[in-house]
A and B are shown apart, each in its own frame.
Chain A
Amino acid sequence: GAGVSQSPRYKVAKRGQDVALRCDPISGHVSLFWYQQALGQGPEFLTYFQNEAQLDKSGLPSDRFFAERPEGSVSTLKIQRTQQEDSAVYLCASTPRTGLTDTQYFGPGTRLTVL
């Protein structure tokens, strides 16, 4: 079946612009994670949704970052007033349930470059 998809794959923004990154998880998956991956580093947790509920946003770096999943499927990560340090690959992952041993299925990511 279809995997996790993300759009756009690449986004260039001027500093100060707002951006919206979309994640389409695998159909029926309950859990959804957003990660930020800086160049040459491992993914860093940003936020977690269980269906439409955002249960953990402890990794969001500032109040410029906002995520939503209003109907428990598609999720959007919004970054307001982008800064150069926001440049990174933003990965989305989904799992079928909510357990510790669930496999996280990752999307290809959105590469954000802030000029």
Chain B
Amino acid sequence: QQPVQSPQAVILREGEDAVINCSSSKALYSVHWYRQKHGEAPVFLMILLKGGEQKGHEKISASFNEKKQQSSLYLTASQLSYSGTYFCGTSGAGGTSYGKLTFGQGTILTVHP
């Protein structure tokens, strides 16, 4: 079942912060975050594993709440380069062993100067 992302879109001024959520109705094993710019390949940001782990990448970090089956992506002090569509891809607990991902519908992030 497809995870649900919120919000669907967000508009920021440079330097502002944003949070993007990814929720699933089923037990998750991992959450993968990607950013895709128009007409380009999705670019990997980070993987969160079951266990409430929090990871960071530059000014972008994420958390995984196993109880809520939800992951949140935190973008701080946003830059123009952060603009794009953010997708979460999930693999379920007890699912395939090879990393088949189910992606959310995406969150469009626009950063203005």
Contacts and interface: CB of A to CB of B under 8 A. Distances in A.
Nearest to A49: B98
Contact of B30 (A43, A45, A101): A101
A55 to B, nearest CB: 7
A42 B2 contact: yes
Contacts of B41: 3-4, 91, 106-109
Interface residues of B, number: 27
Interface stretch (B10-18, B42-50, B63-71, B72-80): B42-50
A42 B97 contact: no
Contact of A45 (B43, B101, B104): B101
A98 B99 contact: yes
Q: Is the interface of A mostly helix, strand, loop or mixed?
A: loop
Interface in A65-110: 91, 95, 98-109
Given A91-B42, A103-B47, A108-B40, A98 B106 contact: no
Interface string B75-91: 00000000000010101
A18 interface: no
A52 B74 CA distance: 39
Contacts of A101: 30, 47, 49, 99
A95 B99 contact: yes
A98 B96 CA distance: 10
10 contacts: A42-B89, A42-B106, A43-B101, A99-B97, A100-B99, A101-B49, A104-B44, A108-B39, A108-B40, A108-B41
